[in-house]
Amino acid sequence: MNQRSFLQAASALVLVTLGACAVAPPERFYRLAVARAQTATAAAPGAPVIAVGAVVLPDWVDRPQIATLGPGSRVQVSEMHRWAEPLRPAIGRVVAEQLSAALGAPLVYAWPQTAVAEPAFRVTLNVQRFDAELGGAVDDEVLWTVRRVADGALRSGRSAGRALMAGASHDALAAAHVEALAAVSREIALAIGELGPR
């Protein structure tokens, strides 16, 4: 092979290699979604209006990329697997939908939505843990407060939910977070029931 042919072949190989490197895998987007069967379909008599306020979330998970726990204290941030919406309103929405189902109260709003009527209860959520090990389990832990608007009466608690993933996919991770948050929502619903109307 002469020098000119060699240089042409080498140049072609470099171009093919660069082209292969330039094609990145597509980004994939995921959301926290409550199954339709778990949402309220009919209002219970006297069902209250409930407002879930803005959610506080640890900085390391409050990002578009899905962050999971690695070995030791390592955190793995995936550039290719992202949340379809910011996590803070997504978590508030999920808890609102789960409260709606648990209480038979269709008028449960999550920030930044605006309630169409004055809420009877206001719920605040401070997420302490939103941990996940891909292919393992998720652990969600939330400090919450329920305030009855009429007189300011309060209930508060710290609830934890744990769920095993049904596989090592990011779809399974999102579904497990929804399942773990359901345990938190059940305890908040109990507190609302204990406070009752005023």
Domains of the chain (ranges; CATH) run 29-195 (3.40.50.10610)
Amino acid (1-letter code) at residue 46: G
Which pairs with CB-CB distance under 8 Å and at least 24 residues apart come from 150-153? 150/120, 150/197, 150/198, 151/198, 153/195, 153/198
Backbone angles phi, psi at 146, to 5 degrees: -115, 125
Tokens of 11: 């140049």
Question: Which tens digits make up the pLDDT trace of 79-96?
Answer: 999 999 999 999 999 999
Q: What is the pLDDT of residue 76?
A: 95
120 in Cβ contact with 49 (< 8 Å)? yes
HEC string of the chain equals CCHHHHHHHHHHHHHHHHHHHHCCCCCEEECCCCCHHHCCCCCCCCCCCEEEEEEECCCCCCCCEEEEECCCCCEEEEEEEEECCCHHHHHHHHHHHHHHHHHCCCCEEECCCCCCCCCCEEEEEEEEEEEECCCCEEEEEEEEEEEECCCCCEEEEEEEEEEECCCCCHHHHHHHHHHHHHHHHHHHHHHHHHHCCC
Of the listed ranges 17-21, 35-39, 55-59, 118-122, the least confidently predicted one is: 17-21
Amino acid (1-letter code) at residue 172: A
Residues 6+ apart with CB under 8 A from 10: none
pTM: 0.84
Question: Which tens digits make up the pLDDT trace of 155-193?
Answer: 999 999 999 999 999 999 999 999 999 999 999 999 999
Nearest to 123 by CA among 140, 112, 133, 109: 109
Of the listed ranges 10-19, 31-40, 97-106, 113-122, the least confidently predicted one is: 10-19
Residues 6+ apart with CB under 8 A from 91: 32, 55, 57, 125, 127, 130, 181
123 in Cβ contact with 130 (< 8 Å)? no
